[in-house]
Amino acid sequence: MQEVYRNIYKTARKAAGLTQERWAEQLGISTESVRLYESGRGLPSDEIAARMAEAAGMPILGYWHLKEKSCMANDMLPDIPAVALPQAVVGLLVAIRDFRENLEELLTIAADGMVSEEESGLFEAILDELEGIVSAAMAVKYASRERR
């Protein structure tokens, strides 16, 4: 995630512009539960996290919540920053443009249906670039569509 440490549940509440008490009321949970989530001592259920995402107008919260609650998801899914739509689109286009240089290498590696020992370093670098494209595409999906 973008910041060194950020509590995603507190971020959602602040995006909604609510106090912990009003946030708890809106979500139908106790203020103590809100404090628990925001202190990092507990995780909300998927249902509560979905309500938070909807109430805050932050669909990306669901994605962040999945990464927060599952070590496997955190390891497998790319980080996605919360950015405005123009920034997300430019990031995606740059990632695609930069990847085009590796298309020939990827085709050569894949042509024989296997990754040789000599090709493995380049293949791993190509996979890293593909992950960057996936992350950039997801940033577009979850980008803020409001004018700032």
Question: Which two three-digit tokens encode residue 48?
Answer: 């509560």
Contacts of 131 (CB under 8 A, 6+ apart): 78
Query: Which residues, including other chains, have CB under 8 Å from residue 61's CB and lie 6 or more apart?
Result: 8, 11, 12, 49, 52, 53
CATH class of the 8-76 domain in this structure: mainly alpha
Q: pLDDT-derived band of residue 147, with 50, 70 and 90 as boundaries?
A: low
Q: What is the pLDDT of residues 52-109, one digit of tens each?
A: 999 999 999 999 999 999 999 999 999 998 889 999 999 999 999 999 989 999 999 9
Whole-model pTM?
Answer: 0.77
SS3 143: coil
Q: What is the CA radius of gyration of the chain?
A: 19
- The pLDDT score that the predictor gives to residue 81 is 84
